[in-house]
């Protein structure tokens, strides 16, 4: 790391968590002080961390199942670690914390199938009524509409910290099992990130994978099922998924 342009998100996360050695921490601290944009990114990560702590703090105090611990201990240590790997491990820890409350459901329910196909079909072909959102700052005015369709009190997630802003809402009134909504977000490069919302079947699910050239993440609790899709990296999807889920329910 020789300058602010070489400071990656993984480095900022490690700096925030106190995981850098003294020399690396000094380099990152100097870069943050010299670059307002970098400082803003760090502030965003710090806010995300506080939000996740608020959402999952109580879950973190619960015991992890014994066989999860046994499985973790059985894995041979690798000789090298990179900050990219550290970021992935941190994301897995988050998934594990969420999974503690949903452990039995995850054992009896396979990764999502039909809802992913439905979400991708809506993303590709459109469905039902489309509401154009001219100003992302007015996204909250659609909370009541989305809540009514899902029969759940929810809020429109703000993904601005990741550079994505709400541009359109599609109402999928023909979705199996009741109404659904697709929220369409775009970034400065006009890349599309979609968030398909459907009433949950009551089972908890979490999965992330690639399909149809897109990174897919499904995050479902006992209230709402979300299928997120976009041309993004694994790390970016992890952050987008966290922002979307906590922004939807908090």
Q: What are phi and psi of 179, to 5 degrees?
A: -65, 155
* Segment 64-121, tens digit of pLDDT: 666 556 666 665 555 554 444 444 455 555 555 544 444 433 333 444 458 899 999 9
pTM of the model: 0.59
Question: Token pair of 104, please?
Answer: 């039995």
- Domain ranges, ordered by start, for the chain: 4-101, 105-249
Extended strands (E) in 104-234: 129-132, 165-172, 180-186, 192-199, 205-211, 214-220, 224-230
For residue 173, name the pLDDT band (cuts at 50, 70, 90).
confident
Q: Tokens standing for 193?
A: 């990130």
Among 231, 221, 215, which residue's Cα sits nearest to residue 198? Answer: 221
Chain segment 6-57, per-residue pLDDT in tens: 788 888 888 888 888 888 989 988 888 888 788 878 877 776 666 666 555 5
Asked if 106 and 218 count as a contact pair (C-beta separation under 8 A), the reply is no
Query: DSSP letter at 110?
Result: P
pLDDT value at residue 100: 43
pLDDT at 74: 65
In whole numbers, what is the pLDDT of the chain averaged over residues?
78
pLDDT at 124: 92
pLDDT bracket for residue 195 (50, 70, 90): very high
CA distances from 37 to 32, 98, 164 (A): 8, 31, 17
Angle between helices 83-101 and 36-60 (to 10 degrees): 30
pLDDT at 165: 94
* Assigned CATH class of 105-249: alpha beta
Q: Between 85 and 196, whose confidence is greater? A: 196
- Judged against a pLDDT cut of 70, whether residue 2 lies above it is answered with no
Report the percentage of the chain scoring pLDDT > 70. 71
Give the model's pLDDT for residue 67.
58
Residue ranges of alpha helices (H) inside 126-224 are 143-150
């Amino acid at each position: 790391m020789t300058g602010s342009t070489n400071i990656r998100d993984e480095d900022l996360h490690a700096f925030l968590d106190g995981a850098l050695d003294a020399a690396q921490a000094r380099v990152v601290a100097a870069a943050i002080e010299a670059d307002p944009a970098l400082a803003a990114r760090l502030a965003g990560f710090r806010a995300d961390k506080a939000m996740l702590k608020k959402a999952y703090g109580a879950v973190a105090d619960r015991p992890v199942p014994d066989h999860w611990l046994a499985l973790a201990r059985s894995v041979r240590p690798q000789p090298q670690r990179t900050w990219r790997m550290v970021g992935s491990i941190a994301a897995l820890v988050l998934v594990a914390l969420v999974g503690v409350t949903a452990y039995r459901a995850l054992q009896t329910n396979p990764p999502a199938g039909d809802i992913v196909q439905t979400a991708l079909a809506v993303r590709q072909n459109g469905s039902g009524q489309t509401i154009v959102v001219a100003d992302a700052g007015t996204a909250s005015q659609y909370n009541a509409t989305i809540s009514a369709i899902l029969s759940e009190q929810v809020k429109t997630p703000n993904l601005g910290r990741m550079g994505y802003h709400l541009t359109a809402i599609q109402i999928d009134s023909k979705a199996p099992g009741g109404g659904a909504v697709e929220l369409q977000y775009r970034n400065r490069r006009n890349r599309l990130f979609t968030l398909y919302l459907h009433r949950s079947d009551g089972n908890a699910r979490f999965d992330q994978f690639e399909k149809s050239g897109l990174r897919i993440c499904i995050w479902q609790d006992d209230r709402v099922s979300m299928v997120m899709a976009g041309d993004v990296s694994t790390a970016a999807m992890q952050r987008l998924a966290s922002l979307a889920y906590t922004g939807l329910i908090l």
